[in-house]
Amino acid sequence: MSDRLCLLAVHAHPDDEASKGACTVHKYHEEGVRTVLVCCTGGEAGDILNPAMDTPEVRERIHDVRREELARSAGIIGYDALEWLGYKDSGMPGTPENEDPGNFANAPLDEAVGRLVAILRRERPQVVLTYSDDQQGYPHPDHIRVHDVTMAAVDAAAEPSAYVEAGEPWTVSKVYYSVWSRQRILAMHEKFLELGLESPYDQRWFDRPSQDDRITTSIDVAGLYHVRAEALRAHATQIDPDSPFWFGLSDDVASAVHPWEEWVLARSEVDSGLPELDLFSGVR
């Protein structure tokens, strides 16, 4: 076990790190935990959702623009290191990007796993954050692949005979899945209505399968919602600054309504007891 605490998050695209667990990562960074972001794709296939950024000049260099945006967001959140796994955005099924053999979803699994194993062995995190095995709510091929690659890499990183060229073996202590709880969505929805505002959470959000019964860990992020908002705005091509979905409630109001980010403990090599209020419970 390393004496240095380290948290490593694996995300699919630039902007995912801002919408999933940004406040949690910031909190641990401020406590002195080393924080590492792995982004698997360049996000090139994502739509430009901010009308002000939808210009020919931006489209011509969208790959570089998205990398620049992620660097800004990662700095706001407090990531100490940013690693690119090096794949193209896979797009959604039926799109040309989805057929590209160089995209993340079509890449050889062993190759992608090996790239992540090398990072895990170099950084030696006790805690890894990734995506759930249940992606029914938003079945993007890259999100599904993030789960598959992360879990295989965690296994392989601990196996001395696997990817021997990638460094000394390392056993990750805990793996967590990010989740947007139904409780959080409902609380936000009700606050919009209470304030006489149109809620961005339509019935489709409540038709999605809930994973609340799987939640094991709640991190208190009261007062940190501004970090998420600033990180989201750093993705100027991806996030409309006038979006009621992201910014319809002020940071203070949103934080008071639901001051938690929730996680599912998917795997653990330590005894921490459940429920948890600390990702490093059982590790410290």
Minimal CA–CA distance to 136: which of 95, 179, 106?
A: 179
Which residues have CB under 8 Å from 280's CB, separation 6+? 5, 28, 33, 126, 127, 174
Strands (E) across 182-228 are located at 217-220
* Distance in angstroms (rounded) separating the CA atoms of residues 123 and 126: 9
Confidence (pLDDT) at 2 = 58
Confidence (pLDDT) at 261 = 98
CATH of the domain spanning 6-182+212-248+259-268: 3.40.50.10320
Enter the DSSP assignment of 210: P
Confidence (pLDDT) at 191 = 98
Q: Are 44 and 66 in contact (CB under 8 A)?
A: yes
* Distance in angstroms (rounded) separating the CA atoms of residues 284 and 281: 6
pTM for the structure as a whole: 0.95
Confidence (pLDDT) at 46 = 85
Confidence (pLDDT) at 137 = 79
Please identify which residue in the block is written with the tokens 């890449």: 107
Enter the DSSP assignment of 213: G
Please identify which residue in the block is written with the tokens 């879990």: 151
Confidence (pLDDT) at 47 = 85
Helix (H) or strand (E) holding 39: strand 34-41
Q: Are 50 and 65 in contact (CB under 8 A)?
A: no
Q: How many CB atoms lie within 10 A of CB 154?
A: 24
**Per-block mean pLDDT, blocks of 10 residues, the chain (284 long):** 86 97 98 98 89 91 95 98 96 90 95 98 98 88 97 98 97 97 96 97 92 97 97 95 94 96 98 96 94
Please identify which residue in the block is written with the tokens 């805990």: 174
